[in-house]
Structure 1
Amino acid sequence: MTLDDAALATQLVRAAGALAARMLAEGLETQHKTSVSDVVSAADFAAEKLIVDRLADERPGDGLVGEEGARRSGDRTWYIDPVDGTYNFLSGIPVWCSALGLVDGEGPVLGAVYHPSMDELWLGGRDLPTTCNGQPVPQLDPRPLAELSLASYLHPARMGRDELRQPWLSALSGAATMRSLGSGSVELASVAAGRLGAFLQAGPSPWDWFPGVALVRAAGGVAEVIEHRGQSWHVAGNPQAVEDIRSALLSGCCDRPPGPRQ
C-alpha cells in the first residue's frame, strides 16, 4: 500500500528525530563545517540517510535536497533537514527538530516538523490545515507586529554589514519582543501555532524555510521573500505583521522608538 505524502512525511520526521535523539544519548562527537557555531554530527548524516533511503523506495520520481549533501532531481523536491538546530542538539539545549518540506512548481506543498523533546509533530500544507499531534491549530488572525514577538537571527559575523544590520534592527524595533530559538523550523512551527508572532531571517537555506512555510500558510498566515539592498529577507506570520515587517525593512525606520524588551 502506497502512503500519501502527509503520512509518509509524518513517519519520516518522527523516525529521523527518534534516531538522532537515540544517537545523542549514546554519545556523539562534534564536527565543524564553516565556523565554530556551524556544527554537524554522525546523527545528522544518519538521519538524512534514513530519509533519503525511504524516499528512494517510496518516491523514486521525486527530487530531494538534504542539508548534509543528498541531491536528486525530480518534478517535485523534498527538502530535508535531518537535525535542524544542531548547535542546540549537541549543546544539550532541547530546541531542535527533524524537518521535511515538499515543493512543486507552484511552491510549498507540505511541511512536517518533529520536535522530539516536546514530542510534537507538526503537519500542514496546501490542502491540509496545520495540526500539532493531529489537533488543528487556530487560524492566525491579523495582529500588528507591535503586539507580537519576532523570531529572528543574524550571525554575529554579519552584524557589521549595514545593508543587513540597519533593516534588521528597524524590523526588530517594531516588535513587542524578540526571540531566537536556534532552529528555524521550530520557530516557524511556533509562528503557525501562534506561540511566536512572526519570523524574519536574511537568506535562510531552503531546508530551513520550506517545511515551516507550509505550516504557516496552512494556518492562515503568509510567507514572503522581500528583496531589499541586495538581500533576500524571508518573512512569515499573520498578514498584518508581515506587512509591518515589510514596511520597516524597506523604510529603514520604525513607527515607534525602541522600548524595553522582555
Structure 2
Amino acid sequence: MDSFEGINEFVAVAECHGFSAAAKQLGCSTSHVSRQVSRLEERVGVALLARSTRMVSLTESGHTYYQQCKDLVIGLQQANEQVTSQQAQLSGTLRVSAAGAFAENHVAAALMEFAKDHPDLTIEMNFNTNMVNFIEDGIDFAIRYGRLDDSGLVARKLVDRPMAAAASQNYIEQFGSPTQPEQLKLHSCIIANSDQWLFEKDGKPLNAVRVHGRWKSNNSSAVLKACEEGLGIVYLPKSSFNGGLANGKLVPVLEEYWGAGTSSWIVYQNRRFLPQRARLAIDFLVAYFSDWNE
C-alpha cells in the first residue's frame, strides 16, 4: 500500500477544519476524504483528528504529524509544477477579487498582459471591498490594500505605495494651503478610507491627524473628482493623482510631510489549494511589480 495515501487528504482537513471544506478544495467527495483519513489513522496506529458533530480538530499526535506532512505535500506539489509548467497550456477561469484604484488601473493592466500569454484562459475581475469567502465565491485570489487582519490567509506584498496630499488650485486660492499637518483640522478634507491621516517628517512618523470634511467615499475616482471640483484636500497614494498633478488640475499640499504609505497585497487561502493558473498569475504579478516606483 502507498505509504503516502491519505496524507494529502489529512493535511487538507487540518487546514480547512472540516471534511466537507477539504473535499471541496480537493475536488472529491466528502466520503472519499473521510475514508482516506481513516485508513491513514489505521496505518499509523493513532487518532490524528478529534471529531465531533460541530468541528474537527487535530489531536496532539495529529498536530505533530501535520507539521511534518504539510511541507512534504507542498514540496511534492511544487516539484510537479516545475516539471509540468513549461508544457501546460493554462485554461479555465481565473477569478480575482480586487479593490482600490491601484488594482483598477495597474493590476488589471498587468493581468491583461498575462491573458495575452495564455489565450485559452478566461479572467474575471470582481471589484468590491467586501470580505471574500474564497471557497463559496470561487475566488482564486484577492487584491487588497492597507493593513491586513490576521485572518490566517496567505499574503504576498505587491508594492509599497507612498501617500501624498493635494488640492485644486481653486481651493488653495480660496482657503490657502496648510503648512503643517495639524492645520488640516482647519480645512475641509475629502475622506477616502480613514479620517486619521498619517504623515512623516525626515523619515519619522508623526502623530495621526483626525480630519473632517463634507465629502466621503470609498471610491478613489469619486474622491479625486471631488478634489478637482474644489471640495477639499485629498490624501491618497501618490500614483492615484499623478495625472492631476501633471496636468495642473491639482497642486501638492504638505509635500515635505509625504512618505507614510500603504501597501497593496495579493491575498489567498493556501498556495497548496490554488490551481496552477492562479499560482502562475500570482508569480507573474509579483515579478511584474518588482520594480514598481510611484
TM bin (shorter chain): under 0.3
* TM score, norm. by length of structure 1: 0.27
Higher relative contact order (CA 8 A, sep 6+): 2
**If each structure's strand is expressed as a fraction of its own residues, which one has the higher value?**
1
* TM score, norm. by length of structure 2: 0.25
